[in-house]
């Protein structure tokens, strides 16, 4: 379904008479006033913003109104069309009417942009959720189906080995097949782990990350991988656990492929007061909401001057973070490596912030 004008109605709307004198305080700084005629309370005359009132508090609403209010739009008008009309008329609001032509409210540029951003974030989160569901399904299918066939092949090879004791040539072929199967088994296990890490489902994010670091350390012994975790990560919901795991996984993949680094430092912090918190270099301690910080820094050659974000997966990382209401920062001083810094609000905090902004 597409969004319409009714989905973006301004939430803080106060109906007033044109002869009323404006009053405003800090709590109503984001309020918009819908002004109606004195002789006909149903006749809409226009909107007045809090900024206009603050600049001219001594005047009545009628003095602050434009000479001609823009004509209203029906409530079922697609939101993109509403925004285009605003641009054509060079106005910051449009009144909205229902199917009977009665005033319902108004939409503003800022409100439309906020609603469209929220919808984009919702769709992005849904996309990542479907992606994880598909990965979970593929992981299960690989484990159950392919695993059974590999076990059956191994049993048949064991039977052949019994009959081939006195046939060296057959035994050599059996040994070669066994080696290939060992390799195939390792490849399948690696694919299953990349698709859906078992430790994340059974032991939580912290153990899954430690397992991921151990895996990279064993594969690349010439590099040093450091992981620091401050505070408990147990209270996070599955969506944010998966996001943090995938972000670390993507960062490490980039380091291995592009950085030519000798060491990587990963810091996840749920305790902003920690004196060794690497994240405090990028984010101040949160005051009024609960967040988790992630930084991944390497000592490699840094990002190229002409960077293709798609090539390094940076666009996808940023989209994943912003879809959860977080902040994504990237720092790469010349020839001094790369640092990715991320702040993610926890679920209850993000939902509370979204509700507050929405009015």
Task: Decide which of 274 and 38 is more confident.
Answer: 38
The continuous run of DSSP H or E covering 47 comes out as strand 44-49
Average pLDDT over residues 67-80: 89
Indicate the pairing of strand 13-17 with strand 32-36.
parallel
pLDDT band at 40 (very low <50, low <70, confident <90, very high): confident
Least confident of 115-119, 206-210, 234-238, 278-282: 278-282
Mean pLDDT over each residue of the chain, to the nearest integer: 82
Measured CA to CA, the distance from residue 287 to residue 272 in angstroms comes to 10
Half-sphere exposure of 94 (CA within 13 A, CB side): 25
On the question of pLDDT at 266 being above 90, the answer is yes
Q: Where are the domains of the chain?
A: 5-116, 202-358
Question: Which of the four pLDDT bands, split at 50, 70 and 90, describes residue 252?
Answer: very high
**pLDDT by residue (tens digit) across 285-339?**
665 568 889 999 999 888 876 655 555 578 889 989 999 999 999 988 777 789 9
Tokens 């081939």 sit at which residue? 164
The rounded distance, in Å, linking the Cα atoms of 172 and 162 is 13
Mean pLDDT in residue range 79-85: 91
Q: Once rounded to an integer, what is the mean pLDDT over residues 137-146?
A: 78
Give 284's DSSP letter.
P
User: Among 93-107, 190-204, 306-320, which is the least confidently predicted range?
Assistant: 306-320
Q: Which long-range contacts (CB under 8 A, 24 or more apart) does 122-125 make?
A: 122/323, 124/319, 124/320, 124/322, 124/323, 125/239, 125/323, 125/324
Helices (H), 220-358: 238-254, 309-312, 314-323, 347-358
Predicted confidence at residue 74, as pLDDT, reads 93
- From CA 82, how far away is CA 74, in angstroms rounded? 10
Q: Answer whether residue 63 shows pLDDT above 60.
A: yes
pTM for the complete prediction? 0.68
> The tokens of 235 are what?
């209270």
User: Which of the four pLDDT bands, split at 50, 70 and 90, describes residue 112?
Assistant: very high
Average pLDDT (86-108) is 90
β-bridge pairing 73-74 and 44-49: unpaired
Q: What is the Cα–Cα distance from 244 to 247, expressed in whole angstroms?
A: 5
5-116 domain in CATH 3.40.50.300?
A: no
pLDDT at position 358 over 50: no
Q: Domain 202-358: give its CATH code.
A: 3.30.565.10
Task: Tally the C-alpha atoms within 13 A of residue 129's C-alpha that lie toward its C-beta.
Answer: 11
User: If pLDDT is split at 50, 70 and 90, which confidence band does 149 have?
Assistant: confident
């Amino acid at each position: 379904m597409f969004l319409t004008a009714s989905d973006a109605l301004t939430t803080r709307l106060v109906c007033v008479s044109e002869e009323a004198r404006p009053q405003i305080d800090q709590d109503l700084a984001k309020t918009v006033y819908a002004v109606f005629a004195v002789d006909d309370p149903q006749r809409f005359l226009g909107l007045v913003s809090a900024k206009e009132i603050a600049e001219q508090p001594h005047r009545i609403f009628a003095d602050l109104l434009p000479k001609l209010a823009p004509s209203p739009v029906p409530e079922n008008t697609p939101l993109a069309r509403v925004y285009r009309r605003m641009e054509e008329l060079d106005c910051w609001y449009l009144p909205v009417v229902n199917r009977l032509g009665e005033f319902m409210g108004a939409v503003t540029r800022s409100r439309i942009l906020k609603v469209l951003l929220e919808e984009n974030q919702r769709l992005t989160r849904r996309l990542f959720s479907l992606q994880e569901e598909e990965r979970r399904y593929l992981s299960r299918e690989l484990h159950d189906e392919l695993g059974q066939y590999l076990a059956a092949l191994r049993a048949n090879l064991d039977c052949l080995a019994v009959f081939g004791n006195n046939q060296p040539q057959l035994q050599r072929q059996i040994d070669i097949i066994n080696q290939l199967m060992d390799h195939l088994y390792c490849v399948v296990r690696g694919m299953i782990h990349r698709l859906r890490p078992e430790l994340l489902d059974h032991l939580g994010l912290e153990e899954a990350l430690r397992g991921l670091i151990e895996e990279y350390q064993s594969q690349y012994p010439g590099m040093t991988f450091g992981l620091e975790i401050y505070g408990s990560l147990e209270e996070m919901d599955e969506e944010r656990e998966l996001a943090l795991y995938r972000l670390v996984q993507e960062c490490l993949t980039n380091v291995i492929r592009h950085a030519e680094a000798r060491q990587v430092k990963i810091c996840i912090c749920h305790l902003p007061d920690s004196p060794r918190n690497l994240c405090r270099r990028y984010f101040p301690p949160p005051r009024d909401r609960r967040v988790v910080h992630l930084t991944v820094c390497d000592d490699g050659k840094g990002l190229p001057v002409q960077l293709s974000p798609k090539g390094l997966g940076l666009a996808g990382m940023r989209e994943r973070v912003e879809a959860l209401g977080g902040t994504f920062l990237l720092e790469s001083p010349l020839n001094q490596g790369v640092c990715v810094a991320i702040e993610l609000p926890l679920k209850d905090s993000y939902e509370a912030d979204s509700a507050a902004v929405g009015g």
